[in-house]
Amino acid sequence: MPPAKTSVVYKKKDGSLTVGDDTKYLFWTPSAPPGASPAVTIPVADITNLQQTGEASAKVALKVFVKEESYVFNFTSKDAARKEQVAVTDTLRDAIAALKAGTSLPSAPRAAQNGESASNQSGALTMAKAVSAKPQDEGWYDDSRLKSDFKLQRSLLISNEVLNDRFTRALSDKPDSVTVPQFTAQFWSTRLHLLRAHAMDTAQNVSEYNVLPEIKYTTTIVNDEPIKTLNMTKEQIALIFKQYPVVAVAFNELLPKPFPDPPTFWSRFFASRLLKKLKGMEIEPEKDPADPVLDKYLDYQQAMGPASLAFIPRTIDLEGNEQNTKFRLEGEFTMKAGRHDKPILHLLNQMSEKLLSHVAPEDGEAHAPIGMDEETFDQLQLRDLAMQDSDNRVVLNVREQQRYTHAQDDDDLSADARLYAKQDPSIVISSLRDDVQPVNFGSDEQGTLKLDRVIGVDEDEDEDEDMDDAPNGHTNGAKTKKVRIGSQASLADASTSIISSISQRRRNASSDAHSLNGLSQTVFDTLTMTHNTTTEFLHYFWTLFLSGDSSRVNELTGLVATLDRSLDRINAVGAQAEKEREERLEKMRVQVKEYFQRTGKKRRIDDSAVGGGKKVVDQMVRPTVEALKVASQAYRRALEAQMKETQMTIDPNERPKYSKYQLQTYLKRIKLPQKYIDSPVHSDASLAPSRDHGLPLLQALVRYHVCNVPFENLEIHYSAHKTISLNMDDLYVKFAERGLRYGRGGRCMEHNGFFGTVLRSLGYEVRNCAGRVSRMMSPDAETREKQGNTYDGFNHMLNLVRVEGQWWVVDVGNGPMGPNIPYPLQDGYECESIAPRRIRLQWRSIPEHAAAKYEDAQKLWCYDACFQPTGTSSGSKLVSEGEWVPVYCFTETEFLPQDYEMMSYFTSNNPKSFFTSMVLCIKMEMDEAEEKIVGDVTLGGDKVRRTTGPNVGGKKEVLRELKTEKERVEALKEFLGVELTQEESENIRPQTRLQS
């Protein structure tokens, strides 16, 4: 081992100089403050030269050259400065020589100086040489060797139960596309530090411990008499004999006479003066009774040394410390062996010898330098700091060498670098100084800097209008204002964030059972293991995703599916926690009921006081769930971008889908009741096409979607960009995430595009189709009167969904004119929609199809509505009783995303389009008890109406007439739950702005 710390002065500061245990670094640590970290760290490999003061010099110093720099250390020990300097210098020289020779350890010990015997060398130096002579295996520094050492990996798993559980669980949950070798390599690639530490730990030999202090009496009371019992193992007896040979000699000589058996010997031994001497304790004749049998071994010489015949250097040597007459322990006590002899000193010497007895011996005897005498060698070692000799060091200029090895020219600078090169430093610094003057930040009249003015805090501020318009930074392409630093909102957010972080840290660090927040230990352990496994797969995912290795695409795809299943596992733990919470609540209800029956008094149960449940689980794993969301979105964005770049037809199995987390957010958005969330379709996608499970869920999804997600064109009127995105990730943000906060919706291609992706993610087979809207649906009366029997071009989107071989029409993007229920694709099908309105589907030609005979004309699916069935006349002049009105026609031909892009662009930009001329927002209303759609609330232009029954012919009520933009924005929030941000409301299209 390297020499111990030495006292030195560096740059007029006291400190200590130490060579690292691996002889790779030289450290200087200041004395003040206590416990300070090293202030100077010098890699031994970078040392180019060493110089030391001459032997005759009163000043003992060492100068270390590191490339173009140098460090001078003055040794300050009064008695051992020269020895410490020599020890450090020799250790450094041996390390440097070993590096040059391509080895990691010194090859031979230093020769003794003139007039110095080997036994008089310092114990630290001798110990360092003994250790350095022993070869070591540094295989743990090789990463590839660690990753392929299966025996070491297995040993670590056996010794670390938590890591073993994590490995086993992750291995069992891995996707089939990932092989066991691939998984194992990835698992250990992130834990090389654990393997390395375990390899180093197992490479250490466990030394013997001092056994005597560990053996103690056990006192028991029998018949009011204390009885001492001595318990020893056979291993402890063997160690006593090995560490203290005098005990083995006494045992062999005294059994069977005069001691008849071993228990008698040990009981006498542990009560004797011999035991106290072996422990290093002072013998007191008045208190310690004499034992004539064992006392004769007090002067036994071998009792003072270990059971080793090898030569052991004396580290704490009484004779070796004869010259030390100034160090005092107590009173006149000194280290001089001739003046005082304490057992503790002998014991310390014994312990040091025992420690060194396990050190490998030196390679050979110390020898003089080869090819020269000792005196010449010493003179060459002693170099004066005056540097009178010429400096023959070779200076390596790495930067100059890079000129010849760099692949590009030095003048190949970036644009920023060329710009900075033209700046005048003095002008830049002067400008910065002017900028940071207090007067520029908000100083008071006396010129004092006021921090509240600097950051813009306004105590009198009532509202914060600089709020971001989208959660999580999503803007859907809109330019949003940044939150102003110092505003009330930013201060409140900062306080909330800090308090939340403190609370979370306190819960994580708490050992109190309440830190489980009401979860049972079983559920908490399951959640912990689920979290660990999920984190493992997230690490694996990002490693593959960021590697760009195209050969591992299948492996990555399997990992994405595994991440989705991880969300299912988290939900399962949440369900288990909720079940336990309900059981506790039920138990409390029973107790309250029994209490009422006994006393007639009622007690209330505070459900909020009962911890645990799914809510607590969601809070604990929220960061992990968010990480799953980010990973899923990143993969799907990359996949979509790659598909667009290749311009290839998308494989039906690779079409955009939403993750489990995204689906949960959407179901929360549409307020789907729990009975539908519990549908087995959510856990088994193969049940989606079934009539028993898939159809009821499909009907509920359509019903709750149209009643909670409005049909609106606000993006065209209230945005800076006035554009519509049909990207599935953008639609998810708009409908689900921003929908939860701002209540936003969209038009037909947004609704049905998003809804179709939701259905596809749940396991339904979906075909995207398109239709032509009838001009009878135009808000213009003249158009309805003159062109009511014709249709527009393709401007509408709808979906076909297959259930047990039968296609069903699903359209959630046509407002109150749409069916708002799934219905089968069947000629002549008719049913009731929004009572009393009826809808029908016919396979027929439209008037605009050219053909000599009607029978020969091309046919389409035509969707019609009868707003006033026979016998239900409401007196409306718009339609007659029993009249069927064409709504739209469509084809079964599958349309592609690029088709909808063109359709959407026209309908959102062309001045003739209905959507560009009127602000529209519609939300259907439902009787939740009957789960039936009963009407709608519509904001159209400058009025808000509520319609009970069908949109045409139903009972209408004007809720509010709007005169200003402010009133319209407020009405959107009040009646339809749609909230516009400050920026959105300010970007109203001039043509549709309400004038006050």
* Cα–Cα dist 610/931, whole Å: 32
Is 811 designated active site?
yes
- Burial degree of 821 (CB within 10 A; 0-12, 13-18, 19+): buried
* Cα–Cα dist 5/29, whole Å: 10
Query: In sequence order, which residues have a C-beta less than 8 Å from that of residue 69 and are 6 or more positions away?
Result: none
Query: Given the structure tokens 């069977």, which residue do they identify?
Result: 256
In whole angstroms, what separates CA 197 from the centre of its chain?
A: 23
Catalytic residue of the set 811, 864, 936, 942: 811
Considering only CA atoms, which of 700, 689, 663 is closest in space to residue 571? 663
- Burial degree of 241 (CB within 10 A; 0-12, 13-18, 19+): middle
At 306, is the secondary structure helix, strand, or coil? Answer: coil
CB 490 within 8 A of CB 530: no
Provide long-range contacts, Cβ within 8 A and 24+ apart, for 187-193. Answer: 187/536, 187/540, 188/146, 188/147, 188/153, 189/147, 189/543, 190/539, 190/543, 191/163, 192/143, 192/146, 192/147
Give, to the nearest 10 degrees, the angle between helix 748-762 and helix 897-909.
150
- Burial degree of 412 (CB within 10 A; 0-12, 13-18, 19+): exposed
Token digits of residue 160: 């670390």
* Cα–Cα dist 553/530, whole Å: 25
CB 51 within 8 A of CB 385: yes
Strands 791-803 and 765-774, sheet pairing: antiparallel
Query: In sequence order, which residues have a C-beta less than 8 Å from that of residue 578 and are 6 or more positions away?
Result: 613, 614
* Cα–Cα dist 893/896, whole Å: 10
Query: Given the structure tokens 């005169």, which residue do they identify?
Result: 963
Cis peptide upstream of residue 181 (ω within 30 degrees of 0) = no
Catalytic residue of the set 707, 796, 921, 942: 796
* Cα–Cα dist 666/672, whole Å: 9
* Cα–Cα dist 175/562, whole Å: 6
* Cα–Cα dist 986/825, whole Å: 45
Considering only CA atoms, which of 140, 142, 148 is closest in space to residue 202? 140
Is 748 designated active site?
yes
Cα angle at 11 between 5 and 15, to 5 degrees? 20
Question: What Å distances lie between residue 692 and 328, 651, 695, CA to CA?
Answer: 95, 29, 6
Catalytic residue of the set 707, 748, 769, 862: 748
Q: How many Cβ atoms from other residues are within 10 Å of residue 125's Cβ?
A: 22
* Cα–Cα dist 363/38, whole Å: 33
Q: How many Cβ atoms from other residues are within 10 Å of residue 111's Cβ?
A: 17
Query: In sequence order, which residues have a C-beta less than 8 Å from that of residue 875 and are 6 or more positions away?
Result: none
DSSP at 647? T
Query: Given the structure tokens 């050979």, which residue do they identify?
Result: 364
Biggest alpha carbon distance in the chain?
138
CB 130 within 8 A of CB 106: no
The enclosing H or E element of 161 equals helix 161-173
Token digits of residue 20: 């690292």
Token digits of residue 825: 């694709």
Query: What is the separation, in whole angstroms, between the first and last Cα of the chain?
Result: 89
Active-site positions read: 748, 796, 811
